[in-house]
Structure 1
Amino acid sequence: MEIIKGAGVWVHPGEAGNDWFEQLRTADMSVGTYCIPAGGHDAQSPHTEDEIYVVTAGHAKITSPGRADEVGPGTVIFVPAGEEHRFTEVTEDLVVLVVFGPAFGSRAPKS
């Protein structure tokens, strides 16, 4: 067992405006925190791994092709590998606990 300290807690983003902090990595999964300040821009690309997002603080919308939903504390989102998605209209500093399966970046991109 391991307690994952700092997971899902706001960390002020650096110069880039958004920050991703990985707090745990195994072969089968990784856990981290993604922070976007109010008014920030989420420029992420589709990932090669499945994702679970758990919003721990803030408010925004999450968009994918043909869909946009408001999210806030307690919202849990599943995004399958390869699906385009991003957070938009971030009205309050957004903190998202992210679980990747398998670990983030461990699958080779499909060509």
Structure 2
Amino acid sequence: MLFHLGAFHRFLCTAAVSAGPMDAGIIKNFKGNYCKLLIKCALDLDMQGVADHYKVNQLQSMRMLTRVWEGVSESAIKNCWRHTGILPEDNYQEEPQDAFARARL
């Protein structure tokens, strides 16, 4: 079992190098959405007279991150997969829902 985990770890390390554009695009989209939401929340708290505008608890943070992830655009994810070159050319037009449905089989 440890051998398989080691092989998987090596795959992730090498995949991260080849998937750089994917990471950059999704993370850029995610961070942009997060900054917008954080600033909006800080302004709302400031208007309410809260002294520490950026203080959030773990539950609030998790809810914010969920909202942010849901806001990552489908086109950002598609573009990142296209830029990696991992998938064959004919898979670029495929809808993400179809790929996930097949993966569950």
Q: Please give the TM-score of this superposition, normalised by the length of structure 1.
A: 0.20
Higher strand share: 1
Higher relative contact order (CA 8 A, sep 6+): 2
